[in-house]
Structure 1
Amino acid sequence: MFALAVPALLLTACSNQMQPVAFQADGRPLKLSDWHVVEARDGKLVLNQGVVPYDLNTPLFTDYAHKLRTIWMPKGVSATYDPVDTFDFPVGTIISKTFYYPKVGGKDGNPSDVARSYDSSHDFAGEGLDLAQVHLVETRILVRRSDGWAAMPYVWNDAQTEASLARTGAVLPLTLVGAGSTREDFNYVVPDESQCASCHAQDWISRKIHPIGPKARHLNRDYRYAQDSENQLEHLMKVGYLSGAPAPASAPRNANWMDTHASLDARARAYLDINCGHCHNPKGAANTTALTLDISAAADRHLGVCKPPVAAGRGTGDHFFDIVPGKPDDSILPYRMASADPGEMMPEIGRSTVHREGVALIKAWIAEQSGSCITIH
């Protein structure tokens, strides 16, 4: 009897007062609460029963926002493991991603002032987000329907009690407050539904969208659940949300880009994989550039080493090659990462600010490389 109760216990979230999760087989529900996946209750953002949180070894950068990711599936079905691509999720799967920031000045601070911080002490740890400590911005829903995946963005209200559908996106003025009270005003852009598709369409021929993060190499890490810390692949297998996964030691694993114990190459490749690889791959939206930035790319011209740009325009910064070994300041790749100009920046959407630490990582990685490029005038 006890053994049968363990999976149910692991799936139990903070609140048992919510209505059951509602798979919406069609349409665009106007309120996030129509899904009953995550809801604001009693000063917390809580997960419903059966909603499982997860994280990535290296996350995609979005203007320094923190993210709470979740998966829910109907009873009796599971995703099928794949060693390389996104897992094959069954119809009825709901994936959510809530974007939020640590508050500046506590609960009485200006809500448009948000922290530029990697402090995760108030992040989700199996017990819900404390709304006195964090400011919710948006929650994105990816739902697997019979005709494929559908993406819907929801924007949280000022009261932090509900999020409403924003089919045409939204622009939210915020101020990043960093160490020493440095301030940077920026516009946080909530993508519209077509922009969601532009990143999530991993195959640019079919244009069908898929989740980006739920791949073995991103998920193969421990997570601090409400009950205990456990490897995420093992946990998803245990609760019945995944089938066919090998032991974690036999599964691929990307590096954590911030883990200085990992090699600089592993950290940089993991960063490029999650931030750029979903477009820069042989089937992606940027396949015509001949620049491959997912983890499978060989360390040659496919990765940009001594490769001239195809159609970067003024995004080249008058540089000749994507990567010039040993010379990050002569390389196009970090130049575009360090720009917030819409005509130059990469990625083209998904950020309004420059990820300073990410740029520093890629520059250090290029500086470590040996070799030279031949320029023909």
Structure 2
Amino acid sequence: MKRFVIQAAVLVAAMSLIGCKHSEAPVQFHAQGQPATLSEWHVLAADGKRLRLNAGVEPYALNTALFSDYAHKLRTIWMPPGTKATYQADAAFDFPVGTIISKTFYYPRAGDGAVLRVAEQAGETRDGLDLTKVRMIETRLLVRRQTGWVALPYVWNEEQTQATLARAGDTVPLTMHRPDGSAKTSFAYMVPDENQCAGCHATNNTTRELHPIGPKARHLNRDDPWHPGQNQLARMVATNRLQGLPGEGVPHNARFDDPAAPLEARARAYLDVNCGHCHSQVGAADTSGLWLDAGTHDARRLGLCKPPVAAGQGTGDHMFDIVPGRPQDSILVYRMNSLDPGAMMPEVGRSTVHEEGVALVRDWISAWLGSCSSDGTHVALK
């Protein structure tokens, strides 16, 4: 009798698990249209207490991430079962039709209704997000359809139970400070509209096709935060989500905040992910002549003693993009440190200054040697 009761209990538990599994609808790829709510995709599920990832939705992390007003980000990729992304050394991986990439922007909560300016912690997103401790702002989807990539921004409600499509963008007023209450800042967090999404993700100024920015070898080549001891790219291969990964020579960007990494590697990684998708040989800012992507090594193209293409308030009355040893005279630092819409860089995606990023680029320029002559010639030290 006892044995029967135990077997029955096991059966009930098994049936309960099966029922729970079936109650969660699988990820739904929409080949066309613009679903009004994020829940229609079944990539993420939120009930006001926890944000969870659906089956097959895999989180990923970058070495150095794009700055977005100190927001934390939970990034995920879902690909149709049986499909794989194809490795590319320099460009974003070639993802199959049906791929859904998500990026959820959130902040740790402060006790006074504000949000906290703190660095992301290890394990912060290991089991989704504890919504009693964080405030979600938006989730952006990048969807690979037959005709190409489509960007869709969704804004979360106050209850953190649903996110609604915001094609025209949105503005979310926030107050942010450090845990000790210092560095208090009130600002308007800007959710980009569809055109602004395209402004960054159209990484080729000729074709104007949208592409992912983060899922590139140099950004993904790192330890996997959710599976300690495993390389993120190697694990993608092991789980049949990536093909073509070479055995060696995979590019790698530094972490901008890693004090053990060389200063130049950290600064170049920061400029690459924050600026390089526009400031490249083929990007939207190609005519500026200032190329900040990882593949550019010509010092002149990086801004050394290079005068701006167009003068104006964006220069701050400075003469050159980079003046060696003099960050205070360099246009690059001036624009990174500005909140003036006519001068700030990047032009969209931030309403605050990334103090740590500016300090890093200042240090990098301070280490350059030589000077600039009045005609823009670099004068090396003798």
The question of a shared fold, defined as TM-score above 0.5 by the shorter chain, is answered with yes
**Equivalent residue, structure 1, for 2:295:** 296
Instruction: Report the more deviating stretch, 249-258 or 27-36.
Output: 249-258
- Deviation, 1:223, is 1.6
**Equivalent residue, structure 2, for 1:196:** 197
Kindly indicate whether residue 99 of structure 2 is the aligned counterpart of residue 93 of structure 1: yes
Q: What is the percent sequence identity of the aligned residues?
A: 57
SS in 2 for 1:140: strand
Deviations 1:110-161 (A, max 9, x none): 1xx1111114256212x11111111100000000000000000000000011
**Equivalent residue, structure 2, for 1:163:** 163
Amino acid at match of 2:316: G
Alignment partner of 1:40 out of 46, 50, 54: 46
Q: Larger C-alpha radius of gyration, 1 or 2?
A: 2
Alignment of structure 1 residues 113-262 onto 2, 5 Å: 113-121=114-122, 123-125=124-126, 127-182=127-182, 183-225=184-226, 228-247=228-247, 250-262=249-261
**Alpha-carbon distance in 2 for matches of 1:141, 1:338:** 29
SS in 1 for 2:75: strand
Q: Unpaired segments of 5 or more residues in structure 2?
A: 1-19, 377-382
Is contact 2:48–2:131 with CA below 8 Å preserved after alignment?
no
Distance 1:315 1:46, change over 3 A: same
Is contact 1:203–1:285 with CA below 8 Å preserved after alignment?
yes
**Equivalent residue, structure 2, for 1:319:** 318
Amino acid at match of 1:102: P
Q: CA RMSD in A?
A: 1.5
**Alpha-carbon distance in 1 for matches of 2:66, 2:229:** 23
Tell me how many residue pairs correspond in the alignment: 355
Deviations 1:201-256 (A, max 9, x none): 0111111100000000000001222x644211011111211101124x53110000
Is contact 2:87–2:242 with CA below 8 Å preserved after alignment?
yes
SS in 2 for 1:30: coil
Distance 1:272 1:312, change over 3 A: farther
SS in 2 for 1:329: helix
**Equivalent residue, structure 1, for 2:69:** 63
SS in 2 for 1:62: coil
Instruction: Report the more deviating stretch, 179-188 or 268-277.
Output: 179-188
Distance 1:131 1:312, change over 3 A: farther
**Equivalent residue, structure 1, for 2:12:** none
**Alpha-carbon distance in 1 for matches of 2:168, 2:128:** 29
SS in 1 for 2:180: helix
Is contact 1:122–1:134 with CA below 8 Å preserved after alignment?
no
Instruction: Report the more deviating stretch, 210-219 or 72-81.
Output: 72-81
Is contact 2:48–2:161 with CA below 8 Å preserved after alignment?
no
**Equivalent residue, structure 1, for 2:14:** none
Distance 1:286 1:85, change over 3 A: same
Deviations 1:31-57 (A, max 9, x none): 100000011147211100000000100
Instruction: Report the more deviating stretch, 233-242 or 264-273.
Output: 233-242
**Equivalent residue, structure 2, for 1:10:** none
SS in 1 for 2:176: strand
Is contact 1:155–1:165 with CA below 8 Å preserved after alignment?
yes
Amino acid at match of 2:292: L
